[in-house]
Amino acid sequence: MFEGVLLVLNHRAHADLEAACEVGQIVAGRLDAVRSPRSAALLHQLAADLRRRQRNAHVRSFLPPLEHALAEHAPSASPGR
């Protein structure tokens, strides 16, 4: 999963938002099977970056499912915290 996130970030860095969103959908779909705090942190950074790029149609369609997947698989807070 981590390599997939890096691929997404690479596409984004090269302004290929269509490819970033396509690969991002695959990676976000793996959040339920792979627990990777490092990958999740990078996906949160990606979501923050994509919020500023919502004029792009690919971003507009990908961002809500990404944010939903991140929210669904967020680690729960420990009791007593």
pLDDT in tens, 45-74: 999 999 999 999 999 999 999 999 999 887
Helical ranges in 1-81 per DSSP H = 2-13, 17-29, 37-51, 57-72
Q: Which of 79, 69, 73 is nearest to 35 (CA)?
A: 73
Residue 81 pLDDT greater than 60, yes or no = no
Contacts of 21 (CB under 8 A, 6+ apart): 58, 59, 61, 62
Indicate the average pLDDT of the chain.
88
